Amino acid sequence: MTKTNFYHPKFIPTWILIGFMKLGAKLPFAVQVFIGIGIGKLLYPILTRFRKIAFVNISRCYPKKSLSEVEDLVKQNFEAIGISFFETANAYFGSNEKIQKLITIHNEHYLNDALNKKQNIILLSGHFMPLMLGGRALLLKHTIANIYRPQNNKLFDEVMRKVFVNNGAIMIKTKDIRAMMKAIKGGLPIWYAPDQDLGEKNSIFAPFFNIQTATISATARLAKTQNTVIIPFLFIRSSSGYTMNFEPPLNDYPSDDAVENASRTNQILQDQILKAPEQYLWIHRRFKTRPKGEVPFYQDI
């Protein structure tokens, strides 16, 4: 990082935030969660737009929930957002020793077996609040490619990129399919979260919580690479730290039916969300792109 680029006064707030994150990463897990919940409660009445988006998403995905149940889940989601400040801080500035103590790993043999067989690997996951920490935790034992969306704040983006690169990751931008293909063909596992609305182009409408949802079609295209397997991967917070879980590689994927492929990945992501719905990124406008003629979900937001 050069003074010319990042010591301009406009970056002072970012440097202050980075300082707080470095301090926050030193706090014990229980303290981080306690303070994070408080931050989330403070953010709930302030971030009106994001609160409305989360409410729309949750009420649509859980149509049987009452108004009060939806509101309760939105509040829990904001508490998870508050905690995610410390999770991101741990991902950027936490020591390997601290992160190692916080995680419990389940079924890692699925990943190790694929590595031993020299298979190309796609780790399929959704956008959960501990997302960044999950990527850092993977790097404790494995060299992987992180698929990421560049941050609007160039300083924060550079800090994020350098932290992961210094810990052994290969950073690939979300839309750089060519680089993803190169990484896969080179035998480098990639961590891929396709549960974002990137518009109608390169997307297919498929069910997600029984809602026709614009679903990234690149997952199946990537999986068509010879000797490639998809392993569902979930990293979520528990009462005492974090659980990292690997599931069996998908059989007979992808098929020749694009909608079937998209539906299958959506179902995997849906099953993951149901295990920790309060930790999912509900503030993303996941259903922004609608089939032609359908009323928009977020008209007044």
pLDDT interval class at 50 (50, 70, 90):
very high
With a cut of 50, say whether residue 110 has pLDDT above it. yes
pLDDT interval class at 2 (50, 70, 90):
very low
* Average pLDDT of span 20-34: 97
With a cut of 90, say whether residue 279 has pLDDT above it. yes
pLDDT at position 242, please? 98
Q: Is residue 161, in this structure, part of any structural domain at all? A: yes
pLDDT at position 186, please? 86
Q: Is residue 50, in this structure, part of any structural domain at all? A: yes
Q: Is residue 287, in this structure, part of any structural domain at all? A: no
* Average pLDDT of span 59-82: 98
Q: Is residue 88, in this structure, part of any structural domain at all? A: yes
* 118-147 confidence digits (pLDDT tens): 999 999 999 999 999 999 999 999 999 988
Specify the number of domains making up the chain. Answer: 1
Q: Is residue 130, in this structure, part of any structural domain at all? A: yes
With a cut of 70, say whether residue 7 has pLDDT above it. yes
Q: Is residue 98, in this structure, part of any structural domain at all? A: yes
pLDDT at position 156, please? 87
Domain that holds residue 61: 3-279
Q: Is residue 291, in this structure, part of any structural domain at all? A: no
- Written as one string, the DSSP assignment of the chain is --HHHH-SGGGHHHHHHHHHHHHHTTS-HHHHHHHHHHHHHHHTTT-HHHHHHHHHHHHHH-TTS-HHHHHHHHHHHHHHHHHHHHHHHHHHH--HHHHHHHEEEE-THHHHHHHHTT-EEEEE---BTTHHHHHHHHTTT---EEEEPPPSSHHHHHHHHHHHHHTTPEEEETT-HHHHHHHHHTT--EEE---S---STTEEEEEETTEEEEEETHHHHHHTSTTEEEEEEEEEE-SSSEEEEE-PPPSS-S-S-HHHHHHHHHHHHHHHHHHSGGGB-TTS-TT-S--TTPPPTTTT-
Q: Is residue 298, in this structure, part of any structural domain at all? A: no
